[in-house]
Amino acid sequence: MVACTRRPVELFSEGTRLAAEIFMPERPSPNGFPAILLCHGWGGLKDHLARYAGKFAEAGYAAMTFDYRGWGESDGRVIAARDVPPLREAGERTLNVRVLREIVDPVDQTTDIRNCLAYLASEPGVDAGRIGIWGTSYGGGHAVFTAGHDDRIKVAVAQIGGFGFPPEHREWARGRAADKARGLIDTIVPQNGVDGVEGLKGTPDVARMAEHSQLQAAARVSVPTLIIDAEYEELNNRLEHGFAAYMMIRQNAPAEYHTYPCKHYDVYEEYFDPSTDLALGWFDKYL
């Protein structure tokens, strides 16, 4: 293990400022360090992943954590208030706006991930040809989605991931989308709207979730992928999420599926060391 540095950075995702941190090994690397982008889950913050990023950096990897737009230290997405005049000319305007925060929107979040990836790949001291992605909980699904759509990702690790929207609720969610489009409801402003999930922070944009499938993206993944699950997962049916993703990925790339005898949140505490060591072993082997 080597010492590492931790540095806050600011980047832009489709014009929205994101807060992030770069963890780097202190020792020099003439060819650049392999790098890992870390993606947290539903309601998570970059600070929650600092201990993972620090461990990766101590093992010789550059690592990056970040807050999704509208979460933690990142700016919220800005939309015009409904009573403003039509915005039909380009350029700067002064007007009333609404700031959206703590929305769980997989489309925005995966866009943020790809912009963070662009930043990380251009970071001095990083080998842009050796970038892996690690995600946990809802971010585990995002990691697989990104690996299936972006060839800059060479290795993926998805921990206790969520991989899609329940199909039995899709028509209901599409009804939400229609009501939003017609201006009949405004479920995502303010926070904790009518579709909030008990026990989870933030408001899911179910209209966007219904049309976004991390599981379908798994069929596109062609890079080595490790899926880590909780055997007694209580938030999702792991056989329909992590295991199903593994079964798709293994047809096109090296893949492993590993479980720990615990529930979802136990992976962060009781199984932190073994799960992180397992992920590091995977990155060491393929990155």
Chain segment 64-110, per-residue pLDDT in tens: 999 999 999 999 998 888 888 889 999 998 989 888 899 999 999 99
Bigger pLDDT: 58 or 28? 58
Contacts of 86 (CB under 8 A, 6+ apart): none
The pTM of the full predicted model, rounded to 2 decimals, is 0.95
pLDDT at 143 > cutoff 90? yes
Q: Give yes or no for residue 188 having a pLDDT over 70.
A: no
Segment 261-273 mean pLDDT: 97
**Does residue 227 register a pLDDT over 60?**
yes
Q: Where are the domains of the chain?
A: 4-71+101-164+213-286
Task: Answer yes or no: is pLDDT of 271 > 90.
Answer: yes
The reported pLDDT for the residue numbered 193 is 60
Mean pLDDT of the residues in the chain: 93
- Per-residue pLDDT, 161: 96
Burial 171-185 (b: 16+ CB within 10 A, else e): eebeebeeebeeeee
The pLDDT of residue 235: 92
CATH class for domain 4-71+101-164+213-286?
alpha beta
Q: Is the pLDDT of residue 196 over 90?
A: no
